[in-house]
Structure 1
Amino acid sequence: MPGLARSLATGGFCLGLLDPVSNIVLNAVSLLPDDDVGAIVRVSSPRKKMRKNKDAWHKIAWASFHGLIDFMMSYFGCLTREQAIRYLRCAGADLLLAVMLVEHDLYAADEQVDLGSARLQAALRSAALLVGHPAPDTLVQLMTSPLPTSAAPSLQLLVRGGRQSRLTSDDVGAIHRLLRRQSRLPCDAQVTHGHGVVVVRVRQEVDDDVVETTSVDVSENAHTTTTTTTFRRAGERITSLRRPGDMAAKMSARLTKAEADAQK
């Protein structure tokens, strides 16, 4: 896929709410032109190209580092640069974990991160602009808009595969199609009235709970009509792709290590 290397070199930043490698891949694939999906060429010496692009990889890695710091300082407002770096290092450049660690220290409790908040979106956009991301709004939408509920086996392979297998061009194509569908989602929630005949999409943040309202109408001829209206999230947040319990386990491990280091 000839365009993928270009996307990695220009937009494969380590910014996002998944693990660092997944963030890099998703940012790159989201910028891949439609014409490059499915276009495969055989490269005789990929190692030579990797060496040639070494400067580009170093540049984007350095920019990602500054972008992560900017996000932490923008999101919290009270962190110094040195504090932001310390939390990011403790979290292994996992941005969501770093945020959770700071909130644990600030509030002495495990606070839930509001993934749809204007505060988080503004911090992501600030970081994207700082590093020169070619499409900052695309990054914000990718990380904060709901994923289609029809789900993404390729994305789950990327996030949960444990790097045991490499992504194929078909996998990249499937991820690209999914991200294109996500970009066309016009809403955060949907209302289904009746038996799925009418679906109204609305721009409103909703909780994970599904709200159902049932109404019963009785006509003059004693004919009864029961209608159920369902209000639910239109899709799942991208962080739903993480392994269940993974963040709690990482938090526990980091806090245990920090306590042990403090006692030395």
Structure 2
Amino acid sequence: MTIDLAGKTVLITGGASGIGLACARQLVACGAKVVIADKNLEAAQRVAAELNALSVAMDVGEESSVDGAATDIEGRLGFVDVLVNCAGVLQRTLSPGELTLKEWDFVARIDLRGTYLCCARFGARMAQRGQGVIVNIASVAGMRSGPLHSYAPSKAGVINLTECLAGEWGPKGVRVNCVSPGFTQTPALDRGFATRALEVQALASHSALGRLVHAEEIAHAVTFLASDWASAITGINLPVDAGHLVAGSWGCYGGLR
């Protein structure tokens, strides 16, 4: 299968690292004109130089920053055809008695509110034009119980938000889908391994395929959903998790065989 995105302008939030960077590389390889949006402008500029892409400073937690970036991008390139919402933060596995409201608010502000803000700003413009694609990055954490009392509800909110916006904008020609990664090898996850907050073998053993997910594998799913190959697909949540979701219930029977 060959995916051709030539002539498409694709905006990737959080595009300077991790899953966002993997998406940027994949989408550029498919011919898209990619804009790397990131709070860290210097990192975004480095990635843009590597990929012959464009860069813009954007803090998805600040409405004025998103509005300013939208004006900047449209002034330079015109309308955005595809929005990929990768910007997000992780959360420490704290109990409700330890997780401060300040930290809870920060995670929800970036992961859910920030996703909604970018969808609202760029998706509304797509709806006015009668075409466009949005791919949100959620998480399998938003589909199961776990010790992530802000991150997991925020990602569950992204999944539901995706469905709401797919219904809202589908009649106007805009497709909205999301991808839910499992434990994915990224710099953020590597920091968890370095501090021993997470263990590779423990995570890998709780997936049907017995391994972590690679960021490039998330990018493949995003690229497919962004393309015309997925032209009849909207409102879905696609887990890309190496079988994490299907493996969990096997613990009741002694674990995977």
TM-score by length of structure 1 reads 0.29
- State which structure, 1 or 2, has the greater radius of gyration over its C-alpha atoms: 1
Q: TM-score, structure 2 length as denominator?
A: 0.30
